[in-house]
Amino acid sequence: MKTKIIKMPKAVKKCVAYEDRLKIRHMYQQEWIDAFASGTLQTSVKLGMAVRDFYLVERVAFEFGWEFEVLPASRVTTGVPVSEGDESAITEFGWYAKRANWNLFYGDKMAFKYVIVEYVDGTKKEGLAFVITETSASWLPKNHLLFALVAEFNTKTGEWNKAVNPY
């Protein structure tokens, strides 16, 4: 599974209420860094450092929420989420999921999945996640998946960690 980049719906392009938000959504990397990035990211750019991953972390958090991340799709395995009786992390995930569409930008689509994430450093995480399946954020890299691990399952203890609000 990977996040599909879609065209902005025509209804949004014509909507005056979305005008400022549309400008941000379609900013080029340097334009966004100049306007919204942290001082550290701005300084890193000025020093000529490689900033692509750093930029993506900040922009994803800014546009989608603090718990969202984007990784190559090959590093994230997705499956059907399964509910388990009276488990507070799953209950909280459900509450956040009920309200999730209120936080989506018009035209973006989301699914709820169980994910297993393998990071470059060899660490792994798994649990219940919000997965952005379609978005008009054309600045996202191709063949990547945008997701937020909201309720993490600790495979060492066999218990769920407390759910986090992805926004």
State residue 22's pLDDT score.
Answer: 87
Residue 15, pLDDT > 90, answer: no
Determine how many CB atoms are found less than 10 A away from the CB of residue 2.
Answer: 18
Residue 118 near residue 23, CB atoms below 8 Å: no
Model confidence at 21: pLDDT above 90: no
In Å, what is the CA distance from 49 to each residue of 40, 45, 52, 141? 11, 6, 9, 19
* Mean model confidence pLDDT for the chain: 94
pTM > 0.95: yes or no: no
Residue 68 backbone phi and psi in degrees, to 5: -80, 145
How much is the average pLDDT of 134-161? 96
Tens digits of per-residue pLDDT, 53-98? 999 999 999 999 999 999 999 999 999 999 888 899 999 999 999 9
Q: Are 106 and 9 in contact, with CB atoms under 8 Å apart?
A: yes
Is residue 29 within 8 Å of residue 42, measured between CB atoms? Answer: no
Q: How far apart are CA 78 and CA 81, in angstroms?
A: 9
Q: Give the span between the Cα atoms of 58 and 104, in whole angstroms.
A: 18
- For residue range 33-60, list pLDDT tens digits in order: 999 999 999 999 999 999 999 999 999 9
Report the Cα 137 to chain-centroid distance in Å. Answer: 11
Query: What confidence tens digit (pLDDT) does each residue in 83-136 have?
Result: 888 899 999 999 999 988 777 887 899 999 999 999 999 999 999 999 999 999
Tally the residues of the chain.
167
pLDDT of residue 150: 98
